[in-house]
Amino acid sequence: MNSTAYVAIDRCENYNQEQIFSCLKELCEKANMPDVRDRKVLVKPNILSDAKPENCITTHPEVVRAVIRILKENGASEIYVGDSPGLHNPGFCGKNCGIQDVCVQEGAIWCNFLQNPATKRINGTKTKLPMAGILDEVDMVFSVCKFKTHTLMYSTGATKNLFGLVPNLNKAVCHTKYPSKESFAKLIVGIHETIKPAFCIMDAIIGMEGAGPANGKPRPINILLASDSCYAMDTAEALIMGYNVDDIPILNEARSRHLLPQNIEYPILDARNLVIEDFDRVPISRKTRFIRSLVLPFFSTPILKRKQRREPAPQFNDKRCIRCLRCVNICPAKALELKEEADKTKHVVCDYKKCIRCYCCHEMCPVDAITVHNRENKEK
């Protein structure tokens, strides 16, 4: 654990190429970016699904461009870029989100995480997971994430972004092994400690609020962030969103493992002065957390699973649904099926007894036909 971490934050009001580059360059200096001279670097943006940049689901391509340019200017020998979206088709290359074009224009190498994955034991767990093979070839990883809410984990930032290093549906399967927020946070922190990213950058020029990470609303935050600690950056993000940092499961897990920096320095803007009062947060499930805190020390997994069902369940809007089956294909609990009625109409139906409330279906739905938190649930 570093005793002091640096989170450099500054205003950047649009995706103008030169503005982002000069802003990020200063942030990287102030946040102690490591020496990359003659190093091979993997840039890991957030490409949850290959959506257009204006949907604000993915790290904006101009931020990725600026990161590549800064790495080149600082002498990196090879720059790789890659991610594995929730549903990863062979040949995926980040075309729609604009990142593939940036790689071609800037001379970075796109890597396909499906090729030659390497099995790694996840730090602090007994789990072994396939991970992008390129990790064994690079000297360092930069997490280049997006400022977004997250229906399961409340916020997604630099640490959670590393989950995309696990290729394809292996990610969804992790939810069955680690079904609660707390256990899933343990896995994510374990991945962070296995990979140990060297630096992180967050695109918060336009972030996402509401039902993130895929179906929320774009929200201009008008800042960029850089840090030498993913946990410190995620702390800053949570503060800006208006969360109590103690409510964020990933940060709680990192704290319990004594991994949080003892001190966070803000050399330019201070996250504590940037709180967005009317930010549309994912409601904290206090009832479930309270019950789990009582139950966890004494009872076994089946009881915990029953308590898990107290989390809000996904609801399916039949009128919006286009029957793409993404939700059915990704559901790790096999709780969803496309059912044909007597009148030959087809609907997605959920077996709520099987559902583990991982919200992968919600993340993958391309038309926002699945909701999780309604207004009545808010902050209960």
Three-state SS letters, 313-360: CCEECCCCCCCCCHHHHHCCCCCEEEEECCCCCEEEEECCCCCCCCCH
Stretch that binds ligand SF4, among 28-36, 83-91, 156-164, 353-361 (CB under 6 A): 353-361
| Of 130, 137, 129, nearest in space to 111 by CA | 137
Identity of the residue numbered 114 = L
Q: Which two tokens stand for residue 191?
A: 């991945």
Q: Answer for the pair 271, 236: CB distance below 8 angstroms, yes or no.
A: yes
- Residue from 355, 371, 376, 377 in contact with ligand SF4 (CB under 6 A): 355
Using CB under 6 A, pick the residue from 27, 42, 134, 350 that binds ligand SF4. Answer: 350
- Put residue 256 in one of left, alpha, beta given phi > 0 → left and psi -120 to 50 → alpha: alpha
Stretch that binds ligand SF4, among 13-21, 121-129, 264-272, 333-341 (CB under 6 A): 333-341
> What count of residues does the chain have?
380
Is 325 an interacting residue with respect to ligand SF4 (CB under 6 A)? yes
Q: Which is nearer to ligand SF4, 158 or 321 (CB)?
A: 321
316 touches ligand SF4 by CB under 6 A: yes
Minimum CB distance to ligand SF4, residue 15 (Å): 29
Among 64, 142, 369, 373, interactor with ligand SF4 by CB under 6 A: 369
Nearest to 123 by CA among 196, 193, 198: 193
Out of 323, 339, 353, 380, the only residue in the binding site for ligand SF4 (CB under 6 A) is 323
How far is Cα 208 from Cα 240, in angstroms, rounded to an integer?
12
**282 makes contact with ligand SF4 (CB under 6 A):** no
* Closest separation in Å from C-beta 356 to ligand SF4: 5
Q: Which of 137, 324, 371, 377 binds ligand SF4 (CB under 6 A)?
A: 324
Binding site for ligand SF4 (CB under 6 A): 314, 316, 321-327, 331, 333, 335-336, 348, 350, 355-361, 364-365, 367, 369-370
